[in-house]
Structure 1
Amino acid sequence: MLDISSDIPLYKQLSKILYEKIAKGEWKYNEKIPTETELCELYGISRMTVRQAIEDLKNKGYICKKQGLGTFVTHPKVGQEILSFRFYDNDMNETKQVKKIINFDVIQAHEKVARQLELSGSDQVFRIERIFYNDDIPTVVPISYIPYKECPGLTREMVQENGLYNSLGSFGRRPDRANRLFEAVVVKGRPQELMGTPKNTAGLHVERISWSQDTRIEFCESYMRGDMIQFFSEIQNL
């Protein structure tokens, strides 16, 4: 409970109490928290104190206000170093990430895929559609295209069990470099359906080409939730 004799401001004390409810799972992701009036009555404090505590939590990214609906618990964003492959590989588990294959097919490369992978229109590719979950929340929908001729023995079971890049590595084709193009978008259509995001949710559309030595081994189109993903980089003045 709040300690009015403490040197710590009441709103800071309340902010900590409310944060602990989120951290312990009493208030879950996307759950509406009590109103300002309810919190005032519960803790016997002024609305100004409650508002300061709510603002403190909002600034730290633990809650968000939805106009006309109330205040809701958010999910800590998944951070990724912008120059790293780690987010896409399945041999790292620090992010509590689960990857599920939605579709695994062999198709003829259409114009855009053929151009990005430097294939002819008659070449076949693996088309692998997946969902990445972080803490059971669908966060990314990537579709990877892999030249069939580079790894004809690739199977759905291999990718699901070992991860895509580890599986490509078994054919001597593990990616070693890539470029990515980022575009801010509103998530809609199939990605919105698969991730279950509200209408008009901001996100990222990312196109990636990956090389294994000098061979283009993957073209990937991904949609990422803007409220769940953040990128960072370290910059040095050399």
Structure 2
Amino acid sequence: MNELFWPLWLSIRVSLVATAIVALVGSLIAYLFARRRFPGKDMLETLFILPMVLPPTVIGFILLSLLSKNGPLGKWLFQLFHIEFVFNWLGAVVASSVVAFPLMYQNAVAAFSGVDKKLELAARTLGKSPWTVFWTVTLPLAWPTLLAGIVLSFARALGEFGATLMLAGYIPGKTDTLTLAIYFAVANGENDRALIYALIVFAFGLTVMYWFLAFSRRRVLRYRLGDGAGAPDDRAP
């Protein structure tokens, strides 16, 4: 692959994998947390959204301490599965997943909390199993807001820098995502290359946020007009 476009390809691959992880894990956890109360729930939710306020370098340092070959989790994973995260594109996936998780989690909680439980109960009274109710009633109603979380998570993963640099490092042709490539291109005086990468990230971010705002306005308008059962309220897109 052309050296110029390698960071773009790597960033897309990392972001897609990270988004798939947070979409699955975040949705499952959010569904459980939106429907149940239990001791320690508030503390766990605080930990889930903490990456939104922690500096990326702090997140990266924590991940490095946990996932390096000498770290408690990294040592175990390497011995059993020979998986390495440091100086590896998998490290970029982990870093991107962690920083994108809060966006997916918050949107997923809003999505499942906004589903009209009367509709789920009606399906249960017709003899449908909880699994069938989830797939045929809950998920379709929650899907628009889940989709917003997925798109925002992808955009956040694509723009991840600090935690990725700490954990995956910068190795050209191996771990040089777009944001890392921009930084080191400027450091090496390759401003034209940095400009190309920056324009790509800017264009993508502009497109995502424009879509997200338009999507949010349409959802709020539909709710106010009473169109669509179970539409979320104004507190979330």
- Tell whether the structures are fold-level matches, with TM greater than 0.5: no
Q: Mark the structure with the bigger radius of gyration.
A: 1
Identify the structure with bigger relative contact order (alpha carbons < 8 Å, sequence gap 6+): 2
Query: Under TM normalisation by the shorter chain, which class is it?
Result: under 0.3
More helix by share: 2
Q: Give the TM-score taking structure 2 as reference length.
A: 0.22
More strand by share: 1
Q: Give the TM-score taking structure 1 as reference length.
A: 0.22
